Amino acid sequence: MLRFGILASAVPLILAGLFAHSELLPGPRPCIEAGGSSLQIAEAPWNADLHVTFTDVPATATVRVQIVENAETADFVMVDGADSLEANACGGAPRFVAISAYPSASAPVIYLSTDGGADYRIFVRSKTFSLREAAALVVGANAGRARMAAASL
């Protein structure tokens, strides 16, 4: 009976330790170098210099990002196979980009699809970056503007 009591009290401590390890020691955040500066996905939204959001409705998007299957046709290519910090390291103090669940009037709204006619094309094969994170960083590197709008400025 005593052994069962010790086991019952140890299990919650083990689970708490596993949870604390996974939440308190996050892995590296996706980061890129673009235009002489670093951009990184923000760990917390209040740390972000730019907020972006995603939509499934093309008409509400301010920036369109196409997922391509060929690296040669992409504007941004992210291919990695490493889990190390060095594979995702950025130099200098990065600007932070946050992916927001709720759009604001000033935040870029990204439509991510495989359809043509996009402002940016990305090719991503990564253990570090998701497609959404790569799209957010590409849009963040261009100050949240669509390519056509940026070209006319």
- Say which residue, 17 or 132, is predicted with more confidence: 132
- Say which residue, 8 or 104, is predicted with more confidence: 104
Q: What is the band of 143 on the pLDDT scale with cuts at 50, 70, 90?
A: confident
Residue 150 has pLDDT above 50, yes or no: no
Hey, which bits of the chain come out as E strands?
A: 31-34, 37-41, 50-55, 63-67, 76-79, 95-99, 109-113, 120-125
Alpha helices (H) along the chain? 2-24, 131-141, 147-151
Look up the pTM and report it: 0.72
Q: What is the band of 64 on the pLDDT scale with cuts at 50, 70, 90?
A: very high
Residue 33 has pLDDT above 50, yes or no: yes
Smallest Cα–Cα separation from 144: which of 37, 64, 88?
64
